[in-house]
Every structure is written in C-alpha cells, then in structure tokens.
Amino acid sequence: MAANVEIYTWSRCPFCIRAKGLLDKKGVTYQEYCIDGDEDARDVMAERSKGRRSLPQIFINDQHVGGCDDLHTLEARGKLDPLLA
C-alpha cells in the first residue's frame, strides 16, 4: 500500500516546487493543498505541524516530516523511502 503524502504549498513558492519535484521524481502520489492567501487553511496546517507556518509543510501517513530541506535531508540519509513504503 502506498503512503498517504500531503503537502501544503503556495503556487509560486520555490521551496514548494523543489519539494514537489523530489516527490514527482520518486513517483510519489500526493495530496497538495495550495493555500495561497487562505489564512484559515494556514492555521490548520500550523496546528498539524506544531506551529510551523512556513511552506511547504509535508506529512507522510499523518506524520509531520517538515519542510523542503527536511524532505531532502531524509532523502540524503536514505530515510525517505522507508517512510514512503
């Protein structure tokens, strides 16, 4: 069974684009929540991510993994694929 991946983004955010690029390269299907200007949605994201309001914020199987740099760090350390399995 594939992992449930969710990513909160802004449409023009370069870090969001970079994070989605890594997921796309790995063939991961994900649910994107583009929250441009939607402060209510950003509040929901911040609550889920323990107060983090920067974008993107990424969740795998309801576990908060962080932002773009965190995702790339997991990949570099070989820890992303097990989370996605």
Question: What's the pLDDT tens digit per position in 50-82?
Answer: 999 999 999 999 999 999 999 999 999 999 999
Sheet holding 30-34, edge to edge: 30-34, 5-9, 57-60, 63-66
Report which of 3, 1, 9, 13 is spatially closest to residue 74, judged by C-alpha positions: 3
Q: Is the pLDDT of residue 1 over 90?
A: no
Q: What is the CATH number of the domain that holds 25?
A: 3.40.30.10
Give CA separation, 48 vs 14, 39, 64, in Å. 22, 14, 8
Three-class secondary structure of residue 50 per DSSP: coil
Q: Taking the model in full, what pTM does it have?
A: 0.95
Instruction: Determine the structural domain holding residue 15 and report its residue range.
Output: 5-84
According to DSSP, the residues that pair with 34 across neighbouring strands are: 9
pLDDT digits (tens, 9 = 90+) for 18-55: 999 999 999 999 999 999 999 999 999 999 999 999 99
Total domains present in the chain: 1
Q: How confident is the model at residue 2 (pLDDT cuts 50, 70, 90)?
A: confident
When the pLDDT of each residue in the chain is averaged and rounded to a whole number, the result is 97
